[in-house]
Chain A
């Protein structure tokens, strides 16, 4: 076997086709898109080389800074929200519901399989003020408050997006983290209990360090997904009011396909790619340091 795997030709034969397909469907489009960032024009009028003009525009475009700020805020808040909610649910499954958690796990996992557009429509109706008040505003009126125009202000719209996405994804993260928690040896937890550890100390000193690898995977998974958010915002607010909830992805989409500026759209896409790359590398580096610290 060693002799076989030591043969470079054999390796090339085995890996070559997959590498070729990966190059064709992943790397070529990525570099192709990067090439577009040096051009101006569209599929009808043709593309023209403009050098670094798109990058200069990227730096001075106020819409990019607005979209970038929204993307970062959304990614940070939602990542914290969905991982924390998922982790709390996973703890709930393991330490309270135990073997009876299957039904609850299934019910809480259910929103992730619902179509995003359907969920967005549901939340639009839930928080609507016109043409009729939705359940949330009806409830506010019933308890003596005024109806709130939830999608009329940037702040409210942001939090509705966050609530919707946490509701959708927390069941998924709960299952992911649950898989990590049930791998913690029962004997370790029992030993800590016998030593007199309270529930809080048990979680802080035993459960958290031992579930660190899966927690980290969830974080990486979450941050990359949230940085690339598109469909839920498009369906819920379409980036509004104004452009207050427009993430980079939506701005890139509009720039390319609505404003016909494919070159500038590709430049925004490149910025997003670099952000995802930097964040992922930072998280991996942190995981190595954190993993070693947890092991010690």
Chain B
């Protein structure tokens, strides 16, 4: 009798453990997981330090922040010391989402690889609305209106800081062009013909990073904007067009053809960003599709052995009969950086004000990088190439976005990881567009 009672108790204990586990499981289903608003009615309070999460691949922003901390923002740094942390770009989104889920985002951070990630953070209340915050601080006028407009169209509001203001196009080696009797191409057909001529003379026509993928997908969007007009990809985002439509597949096919002819050199999928830039800046390739942020590398004699005066810049050429125009440059604000709304206390706000007032000049003076901040004081002594790019930035009336700008994170990843197979011939243009469209539809 006593044994039976003990058995029952044991069984009851086990059932209790099982029930507890089941309850926890249900709790997992029912949890809201929302980050919640900052506690207290007095507004967010400052953390113990001005923590800054940067990406490993872009040391420049971290270095500039340190320079500001030692110079123009020394007082702010004394009140709230700057602490810089790095994370590889490929791990950035994971880190941000995990930190945001724990209410542990740093004071300032790289806001994600795709606008979709930044928008998710905005929904969670983790991002400062700079439109109101900078107006309160009295420094909204220190940001170029064109930069605010670009940010607004990408993120649905002024949610990131324009630490860069870039246009994209094709950088070319003037010396190689002159030696081989090649003129700057005005149309896509001329560009392809020039590439063939360069290849015939033993010069690699293009340098591109297949490991990153985006330098290749940028060519697809370039072709699409020239052939279908500036609304080509917003039509895909809104669902009125699909990437699998023949005219979209034709754009991918045009870029795949460059790869099948060997114009990107060998082993393009193994080429990382730095190698692709290095290949061009050491004269081993004639052209490089890139954003104006590369000017900082062009200005660095240890990287640029061909010399800034030997580098030209041209827009993505026209596609004959297309609806787009060479005057529509792809523009962006680089990898976005933002501030954590939940830790924006008075000392962090002072940091923000100092960054807005001083970052632009430091960036252009020390790193030859254009930003969306007003240069204060104005920087002089720019090279002809920098002046050309600056003039284009200020004169561009209509800009366009990049291939994945309006895509989900999943579609962005699929697009960039499939770019190398597209140009090395292991994936057809139709299959590439179909895979990206499927990812887009799924998310």
Query: Which residue numbers of A lie inside 8 Å of B, CB to CB?
Result: 8-9, 12, 19, 23, 27-28, 31-36, 38-39, 41-47, 49, 57, 61-62, 124, 128-131, 147, 149, 151-154, 238-244, 254-255, 257-261
Contact = CB atoms under 8 A, between A and B. Distances in A.
A242 B427 contact: yes
Contact of B266 (A34, A129, A241, A257): A129
A149 B123 contact: no
A69 B266 CA distance: 29
A45 B34 contact: yes
Given A152-B424, A243-B417, 4 more contacts: A39-B29, A129-B266, A257-B93, A261-B410
Given A9-B6, A46-B33, A254-B413, A130 B268 contact: yes
A12 B17 CA distance: 13
Interface string B147-160: 00000000000000
Contact of B426 (A27, A47, A242): A242
B270 interface: yes
Contacts of A129: 266-267, 270
17 contacts: A12-B10, A12-B13, A23-B21, A41-B33, A42-B101, A44-B97, A44-B120, A45-B33, A47-B33, A129-B266, A151-B269, A153-B424, A153-B426, A241-B420, A241-B421, A257-B93, A257-B98
Contact of B417 (A33, A47, A239): A239
B269 A43 contact: no
Interface string B90-127: 10011001101110000000000000010011011010
B24 A32 contact: yes
Contact of B97 (A128, A238, A239, A257): A257
Contacts of A131: 267, 270-271, 275, 278-279
B22 interface: yes
B418 interface: yes
A130 B10 contact: no
Interface string B9-46: 01001000100011011111111111100000000000
A126 B226 CA distance: 41
Interface of B: 6-7, 10, 13, 17, 21-22, 24-35, 90, 93-94, 97-98, 100-102, 117, 120-121, 123-124, 126, 265-271, 275, 278-279, 408-410, 413-414, 417-418, 420-421, 424, 426-427, 435, 438, 442-443
Q: Is the interface of B mostly helix, strand, loop or mixed?
A: helix
Nearest to B409: A259
Given A31-B22, A46-B32, A149 B266 contact: yes
A42 B6 contact: no
A42 B409 CA distance: 13
Contacts of A130: 265-268, 270-271, 275
Contact of B124 (A38, A44, A49): A44
Given A34-B25, A257-B93, A44 B126 contact: yes
B101 A43 contact: yes
A44 B35 contact: yes
A246 to B, nearest CB: 9
Contact of A43 (B10, B98, B265, B410): B98
A44 B98 CA distance: 9
Contacts of A9: 6
Contacts of A57: 442
A154 B34 CA distance: 41
Contacts, number: 158
Nearest to B411: A259
A54 to B, nearest CB: 12
Nearest to B13: A12
Nearest to A57: B442
Contact of B267 (A46, A128, A240, A261): A128
A167 B269 CA distance: 25
Contacts of A42: 33, 97, 101, 120
Contacts of A254: 413
Contact of B120 (A23, A61, A238, A260): A260
A201 to B, nearest CB: 48
For the complex of A and B, 3 pairs with smallest distance between CB atoms: A43-B101, A130-B267, A35-B28
B443 A259 contact: yes
A152 B409 CA distance: 24
A8 B21 contact: no
Most buried by A among B21, B117, B408: B21
B8 to A, nearest CB: 11
Given A43-B33, A44-B97, A32 B267 contact: no
Most buried by B among A9, A33, A47: A47
B266 A147 contact: yes
A122 to B, nearest CB: 15
A258 B35 contact: no
A47 B31 contact: yes
Contacts of B424: 149, 152-153, 241
Given A39-B29, A62-B438, A242 B13 contact: no
